[in-house]
Chains A and B, each alone.
Chain A
Amino acid sequence: MLRQTHLGSSDAGTTPRDMTLGQAKPGFKGNILAVDPVGVQGSLPEEELERRLLEMGLVEGAEIEVLHQGLIRRDPIAVRINGRATFALRRREAGAVLVVPA
C-alpha cells in the first residue's frame, strides 16, 4: 500500500523515478523513501523483515550508498548507511527498501 502511494506520487511529479535498493548499482547514492516489505519473498513474515531492516538503521530519510556487489547475479550488496556503518544484504531483501537517488 505504502509502495503504491509512493509510486503514484513520483509518477505525477518531476522527481526521479522511485526504485528499490535491490535495483541499485554500486556507486548509487540516495535516501531511503520507505521501508516496505510487501511482496518480498522469504522465510520471514513481512513485518519481521521490516523490523530487521530497521534494526540495521535503514529508516526513512537515512542516506544510503551502494559500495559493492557480489559476483553471482551481482548479489549480495554492501551498503553504507548515513556515511558510517556498512551492512551486507541480498538484493531480494533490499527490494523492500524504496530509495530516491540523491
Chain B
Amino acid sequence: MSHCAEAPENGAVLLADNTARIALIGNPNCGKTALFNALTGSRQHVANYPGVTVERKAGNFTTPGGRAIRVLDLPGTYSLRARSPDEVIARDVVLGRVASEALPEFLLCVADATDLRLSLRLALELKALGAPMALVLNMADIAKHRGIVIDTEKLAGMLGMPVVASVAVRKAGIRELLAFLDERVALGLPAPKPVPAWEAPDRHAMRDLQRQADTLIAACVTMPAQTYSTTARIDKVLLHPIAGLVVLFAILFVMFQAVFTWAQAPMDAISNLFDWFGVLAGHVLPDGPLLSFLRDGVLNGVGSVVVFLPQILILFFFILVLEDFGYMARAAFLMDRIMGGAGLHGRAFIPLLSSFACAIPGIMATRVIDGRRDRLATILVAPLMTCSARIPVYTLIIGAFIPDRHVLGIQLQGLVMFGLYAVGIVAALGVSFIMKRLVWRKAQHDPFLLQLPDYKMPSPRSVAIGLWQRAKAFLKRAGTTIFSMMIVIWALCSLPLAPKGATQPTIDYSAAAWIGHVLAPIFQPIGFNWQINVALIPGMAAREVAVAALGTVYSISASADDPGHLGGVLAAHWSIATALALLAWYVFSPQCASTLATIRRETGGWQWAALVFAYMLALAYGAAFVTYQLACLAGLG
C-alpha cells in the first residue's frame, strides 16, 4: 500500500504490514489519553493532573472500514520547545529523532474544545513541520453544554487542516473521528520524512503563533457571556489561602486514617486465608522439608506481604481519585511556598505524596518537574517518605512492643505510627534543605508555572483501571521478587540440616545463622541480633520482605508445633530498645533495590543512586544507634 513507509533514514523499526501509524499530540489535560483509550480500548490510566502521561503508550485498532491503525499516545505538551523529559519525547517522536520509534504518518492534534487558545498555537506549530495532520476538538459535548459554538468548517479552512469533533469519554463520541480516519487512510499516507533542521520558535515566533491562534478563535468561536463556572466556585474554597490548606490537611488526615481503619477487615481476611492454607498444608503433607518449605517459606513469607494489599490500594484510591478530580494541581499550588522553604518545588508535592504508596511511581512522577535541580531534589528525598512497604515492618513492631492503650485520649500505637510518618517527612524536608545549602547554594530558582485544570467528576472506570494496575504490580512483585527471596531465605535458614541428635532448632546450624553472626559486630552497637541481620539482607530486595524473613527465621527456629504469632515471638525475644532501634533504622534505611535502580534510570547515572544509598544508610545507622543507646540508658535494654 502506498502509505506503507520506506525505512526512514534514522533506521526506525517498521511494521511489516500495511498498518497506518498515527500519533496523538496535545496539551496536558485535553483528554488525549481518554481519546487514546477510546480508540484502542487499551487499559491505561486517565488522570487530570497536567503531565500525568509519563510514558509513551501505543495501541492498535481497526477502523469500521477495516483499516489497521497503530496509534501512539504522546506525552502532553504546550509546545514542541520541549522542556521536561516528557516533552522531549513528544517532540523527538514528531521530528523523527527517536531511533526506536517509527515516524508517525499522520498526526492528530488533540484540543480541548472548551479552551482552544493553547491547542491552536500548538497546532500551528505542528503545521509548520509539514506533516499531514488534523485537529481533533475533544470534549465537544462540554463545550456545547457551555454554549461555546465553534464553526469547524471555517476553522478548518483558515487553519488549513481537517477539523473533527470528538467526545472521548463516550463510545459514540469517536464515530466521526473513526470515519474521518477511514477516509483519510484510504487516500493514502505519504512516507513521512524526519525534520532534521527544526528550530525551536523564538519569542517573536511564539507571539506570532499565539496571535494567529487568537485571530482564529475570534473568527471561528463564539463564546457565551462569561459566567462563573463550577470550577471557580469550588476554587473559592479549595484555593483559599487558609481554608484551602485546612481542606488539604483534612484530606491527608482522612486518607491516612482510612489506610489504617478501612484496611483492617480485608487484612484480617487475607491473613486468615493464608493461615488456613498453612493448616491445610499441614493436613495434606507429611512433616518434613517439603511441608516446612511450603508452610514456613512460601505461605508465611508471601502471606505476610500480600496482607498489605488493602492498605496500598486504599492509599492509591485516594491519590487516583484526587488526580482525576483535578485536585492535585491545586495541592501543588497550596504547597509551593510551604515546601519552597525546604528547597522543594510545588510540583514535588504529587510525586512525594505518591511516594507514601511507593517511591518508584513517585520518582517516575518527578518527570513533570522541568527544572533539573528541582527534580533531583525531589528524587533524593522521595525514598524518605514512608512507603507502604515500611507499613508491614512498622505494624509488626508497633503491635508487638507498643502497649495498646490511650495516652491523653489518643491511641498510643496510632500515635507512634503517625510519629514515624512525621519523622520521614521532617527528614525529607531537612535533607532537601541541607542539599539546597550545600550542593545547590548558588542555584537560582526554577519557575513554578502550572495549569489548574477544570474540575471533573472522577471516572470510576479510570480509577478502577488505575487500582487494578497497582494491585497487579504489587501481586506480581509478591509472586516473583518476594517469592524467590523467600525461597532463598528458607534455604539459608534450613540448610545445612541439623546434625543427628541436635538439641537446638535447625536454624542454629544453618547458613543464615552463620551470616547473621558474621554481621553481628557491625549491628551489635545498634542492638540488632543475628536474626535481624539475616532479615536485613533480603530486605534489600524489598523492605517488606524483612517481615517475611523474620517470620521464616523465627518460624523455623520455633519448636515444631508452635508457629506462634510473629509479634508475640518477637516480644519474647527482643528488648524494647532493639525494637525501637529497628523502627528508627527502617525510617531511613535505603533498603529497596528497585528504588535505587529507578533513581539510576531517572537520573541517568549511578552517582545519584549511590548518594541516596550512602546518605540513607548513614542516617539509618546513626538514628538506630542513637535510639538504641538512649533506650538502653533509659533502662529499656
- Which residue in chain A gives the minimum CB-CB distance to B451? A87
Indicate if the CB atoms of A88 and B245 lie closer than 8 Å. no
Within 8 A of B (CB), among A66-102: 67-76, 78, 81-90, 92-93
Q: Once the chains bind, are B447 and A93 in contact (CB under 8 Å)?
A: yes
**Cβ of A13 under 8 Å from chain B:** no
> Are A71 and B117 within 8 A (Cβ)?
no
Known: A43-B373, A76-B333. Is A93-B448 also a contact (CB below 8 A)? yes
Q: Are A54 and B223 touching (Cβ within 8 A)?
A: no
Q: Are B81 and A89 in contact (CB under 8 A)?
A: no
Q: Are B346 and A55 in contact (CB under 8 A)?
A: no
| Closest CB in chain A relative to B558 CB, distance in Å | 55
B201 to A: closest C-beta gap in Å: 8
- Let me know if B371 and A43 touch, CB within 8 A: yes
Please state if A41 and B444 are interface contacts (CB–CB under 8 Å): yes
The answer on a CB contact under 8 Å between A59 and B211 is: yes
Taking a contact as CB atoms closer than 8 A, the residue among A51, A83, A84, A85 that contacts B203 in the complex is: A51
Q: In the complex, which residues of chain A have a beta carbon less than 8 angstroms from the beta carbon of B449?
A: 52-53, 56, 87-89, 93
Candidate in B231, B241, B332, B373 with the most chain A CB atoms within 10 angstroms? B241
Q: Check B446–A44 contact: CB distance below 8 A.
A: yes
From A49, A53, A76, A86, contact of B346 by CB (8 A): A76
Cα distance A45–B613 in the bound complex, in angstroms: 34
CB-CB under 8 A for A86 and B206, given A43-B443, A43-B445:
no
Q: How far is the CB of A33 from chain B (nearest CB, A)?
A: 13
| Chain A residues within an 8 Å CB radius of B121 | 57
A11 interface contact, C-beta 8 A = no
Q: State whether A42 and B446 are in contact (beta carbons under 8 Å apart), knowing that A67-B239, A68-B239, A85-B115 are contacts in the complex.
A: yes
1/0 contact string of B429-471 vs chain A (CB within 8 Å): 0000000000000011111111110000000000000000000
Closest to A47 in B: B203
Max chain B CB contacts within 10 Å: which of A54, A57, A67, A71? A54
Within 8 Å CB of B447, what residues of A? Answer: 42-44, 49, 52, 89-90, 92-93
Check if B226 is an interface residue, CB within 8 A of chain A: yes
B117, B202, B444, most chain A CB atoms within 10 A: B117
Report B-chain residues with C-beta under 8 Å of the C-beta of A78. 235, 239, 333, 452
**Chain B residues with CB under 8 A of A69:** 241
Interchain nearest-CB distance for B146 vs A (Å): 10
**What is the 8 Å Cβ interface bit string for chain B, positions 200-228, against chain A (1 contact, 0 not)?**
00110011001100100000000100100
Report chain A residues within 8 Å CB of B231.
Answer: 86
Chain A proximity mask over B322-340: 1 for CB below 8 Å, otherwise 0: 0000000100111011100
Contact B114 A88 (CB under 8 A): no
Report the minimum CB–CB distance from B429 to chain A (whole Å): 15
Give A89 to B337 CA distance when docked, in angstroms. Answer: 11
Check if A70 sits within 8 Å of B333, measured CB to CB.
Answer: yes
Q: A71 contacts which of B211, B226, B337, B445 (Cβ < 8 Å)? A: B337
A59–B235 CB distance below 8 A? no
Is A83's CB under 8 angstroms from B223's CB? yes
Which chain A residues lie closer than 8 Å to B373 at the CB level?
43
Contacting residues, chain A, for B78 (C-beta < 8 A): 55-56
Known: A73-B337, A83-B226. A92 touches B445 (CB 8 A): yes
Closest to B373 in A: A43
Query: A90 contacts which of B341, B371, B448, B451 (Cβ < 8 Å)?
Result: B448
For the complex, give the distance between the alpha carbons of A50 and B121 in Å.
Answer: 16
Specify the chain A residue showing the minimal Cβ separation from B335.
A70
CA distance A72 to B245 in the complex (A): 11
Q: Considering residues B83, B239, B371, B446, which has the most beta carbons from chain A within 10 angstroms of its beta carbon?
A: B239
Set of chain B residues within 8 Å of A68, measured between Cβ atoms: 235, 239-241, 333
- Residue contact A85 to B117, C-beta cutoff 8 Å: yes
Measured between beta carbons, the chain A residues less than 8 angstroms from B206 are: 51, 54-55
Contact call A85/B118, Cβ cutoff below 8 A: yes
Residues of B within 8 A of A59 (CB): 207, 210-211, 214
Instruction: List residues of B whose CB falls within 8 A of some A CB.
Output: 78-79, 81, 83, 114-115, 117-118, 121, 202-203, 206-207, 210-211, 214, 223, 226, 231-232, 235, 239-242, 245, 329, 332-334, 336-338, 341, 346, 371, 373, 443-452
4 closest Cβ contacts across the A-B interface?
A43-B444, A72-B337, A71-B241, A68-B239
Question: Can you give 8 A-B contacts (C-beta < 8 A)?
Answer: A41-B444, A42-B447, A51-B203, A56-B451, A71-B338, A72-B337, A84-B115, A89-B449
List 8 other contacts, CB 8 Å, given A43-B443, A57-B118, A90-B336: A52-B447, A59-B207, A62-B214, A67-B239, A76-B346, A84-B115, A86-B231, A88-B449
